[in-house]
């Protein structure tokens, strides 16, 4: 913005200088003296007479007669010559005042014309970003209207689904993916996009339907970058570190060596190898390491692109601080990136959602417990209880309540919470098997505690 203003001001000054220079430069006096002119004419005529006399064209007597006439005529002409008119009194608009008027009025006129015909908001990046967002929303709404009129357009529905997903309109994105039909099942990019959406809606849980879609995408394209990334994350979360390493090493082979993405994946591999008790190929370094790639990232997006999206969301929320749903999205993004202090501040701005939305409440409780190194006492426990009072069978809240009881050595209470979780999880799923293992461990500890 400042550069544009500086260039415009410089160009205006150059135009003003070009206009006023002719008015201010010094000029020789205007007009020719009539006395000097008559004298010059007399000299030329006298010289011509002398030439005629020398050639013998005229006699000496004719020469003297003509010379006398010339001299008398010269005296008469110079004698009647009047002095030049008095120029001491001039009009108001002299050269200097005209130049001053032009110098003052030109910038004012230029600014007025620009304000009338130009687009001043275009040089303001914040306003320009708002205009761009409005244009994007208008384009998406136009596409949605066309698809309602012509619903037999799978590619159009897929495009609309991706657009809704990027904007955070997750319900509409899922409906659009469903309407894309068989096209989603044939395209690995769409399969991973759809899986990513379902994972976001399940509080970043990739297990179940999202992982099925990821595996299907990898069946079509075994080196799909985002598919490998999500598959590795799912394995890492269920403590299958060896499989996570396998998937991430495949991903590393298709990334540009030495790139920021490759460095990030190598750090993930090193971490998984350390947790699996395997030798670490390269010591992990935090220097220059990018924030973790959010599970909710769109397929093919780099950490830099994701971070830029998060920062744009944060900038929009500064201009629209009453958008509680936006603050919830920003808090989740910060939480996944490991920016826990900023996530806590964003959760604090979600307003009524902390009293009504069990998903937001449990996410906030999980963040606070993580920052307290797994300690659920205090506010995290209060938030978990609040979430369960709103939705008694909320899976995440039940799991967290069980973990809190387990840490407090109240194994019977932990078992009750986890058994309730089993009633809402799909039978035979990996999540349910994990919960059963937790219950078995709690029962074993309770039995050991009961022994004399």
pLDDT in tens, 359-418: 899 999 989 988 888 888 899 999 999 999 999 988 888 999 998 998 888 889 999 998
pLDDT tens-place string over residues 214-234: 999 999 999 899 999 999 998
384-394 pLDDT tens trace: 999 999 999 88
pLDDT tens digits for 172-181? 888 988 988 8
Distance of CA 296 to CAs 210, 234, 288, 300, Å? Answer: 11, 13, 22, 12
Cβ atoms of 414 and 406 closer than 8 Å = yes
Q: CA-to-CA distance for 295 and 410, rounded, in angstroms?
A: 33
pLDDT of residue 284: 40
Q: What percent of the chain is predicted at pLDDT more than 70? A: 77
In the prediction, which pLDDT does 300 show? Answer: 46
Residue 121: burial class (beta carbons within 10 Å; 0-12, 13-18, 19+): exposed
**pLDDT band at 150; cut points 50, 70, 90:** confident
Residue 411: count of CB within 10 angstroms of its CB: 22
Please give the DSSP secondary-structure letter assigned to residue 288: T
Q: Kindly tell me the burial class for residue 445, based on how many C-beta atoms sit within 10 Å of its own C-beta (0-12, 13-18, 19 or more).
A: middle
Q: How far is CA 162 from the centre of its chain?
A: 18
Domain residues of the chain, as ranges?
1-24+99-124, 38-73, 354-452
Distances (CA, A) of 261 to 163, 225, 257: 24, 11, 9
pTM of the model: 0.40
Q: What span, in angstroms and rounded, lies between the C-alpha atoms of 319 and 105?
A: 38
CATH number of 354-452: 1.25.40.10
Q: What is the predicted pLDDT for the residue at 70?
A: 65
pLDDT band at 166 (very low <50, low <70, confident <90, very high): confident
User: pLDDT band at residue 38, thresholds of 50, 70 and 90?
Assistant: low
301 pLDDT exceeds 90? no
């Amino acid at each position: 913005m400042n550069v544009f203003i500086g260039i415009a001001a410089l160009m205006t000054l150059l135009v003003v200088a070009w206009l006023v220079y002719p008015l201010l430069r010094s000029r020789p006096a205007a007009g020719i003296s009539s006395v000097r002119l008559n004298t010059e004419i007399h000299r030329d005529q006298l010289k011509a007479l002398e030439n005629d006399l020398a050639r013998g064209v005229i006699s000496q007597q004719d020469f003297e007669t003509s010379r006398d006439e010339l001299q008398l005529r010269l005296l008469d002409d110079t004698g009647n010559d009047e002095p030049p008119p008095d120029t001491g009194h001039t009009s108001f608009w002299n050269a200097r005042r005209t130049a001053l008027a032009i110098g003052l009025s030109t910038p004012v006129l230029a600014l007025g014309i620009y304000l009338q015909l130009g687009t001043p908001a275009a040089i303001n990046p914040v306003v320009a970003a708002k205009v761009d967002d409005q244009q994007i929303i208008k384009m998406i709404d136009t596409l949605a209207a066309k698809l309602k009129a012509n619903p037999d357009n799978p590619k159009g529905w897929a495009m609309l689904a991706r657009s809704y997903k990027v904007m955070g309109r997750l319900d509409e994105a899922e409906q659009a993916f469903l309407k894309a039909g068989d096209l989603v099942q044939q395209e690995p990019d769409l399969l991973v996009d759809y899986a990513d959406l379902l994972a976001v809606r399940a509080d970043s849980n990739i297990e179940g339907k999202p992982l099925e879609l990821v595996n299907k995408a990898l069946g079509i394209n075994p080196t799909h970058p985002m598919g490998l990334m999500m598959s590795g994350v799912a394995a890492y979360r269920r403590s299958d570190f060896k499989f996570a390493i396998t998937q991430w090493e495949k991903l590393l082979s298709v990334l540009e060596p030495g790139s920021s993405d490759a460095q990030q994946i190598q750090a993930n591999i090193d971490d998984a190898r350390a947790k699996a008790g395997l030798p670490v190929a390269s010591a992990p370094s935090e220097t220059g390491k990018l924030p973790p790639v959010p599970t909710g990232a769109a397929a093919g997006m780099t950490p830099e692109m994701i971070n830029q999206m998060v920062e744009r969301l944060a900038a929009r929320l500064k201009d629209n601080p009453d958008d509680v749903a936006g603050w919830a999205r920003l808090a989740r993004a910060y939480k996944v990136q490991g920016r826990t202090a900023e996530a806590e501040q964003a959760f604090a701005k979600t307003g009524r959602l902390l009293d009504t939305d069990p998903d937001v409440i449990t996410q906030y409780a999980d963040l606070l417990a993580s920052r307290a190194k797994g300690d659920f006492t205090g506010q995290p426990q209060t938030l978990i209880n609040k979430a369960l009072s709103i939705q008694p069978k909320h899976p995440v809240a039940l799991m967290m309540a069980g973990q809190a009881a387990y840490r407090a050595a109240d194994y019977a209470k932990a078992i009750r919470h986890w058994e309730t979780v089993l009633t809402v999880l799909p039978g035979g799923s990996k999540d349910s098997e994990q919960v059963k293992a937790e219950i078995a461990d709690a029962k074993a500890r309770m039995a050991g505690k009961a022994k004399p």
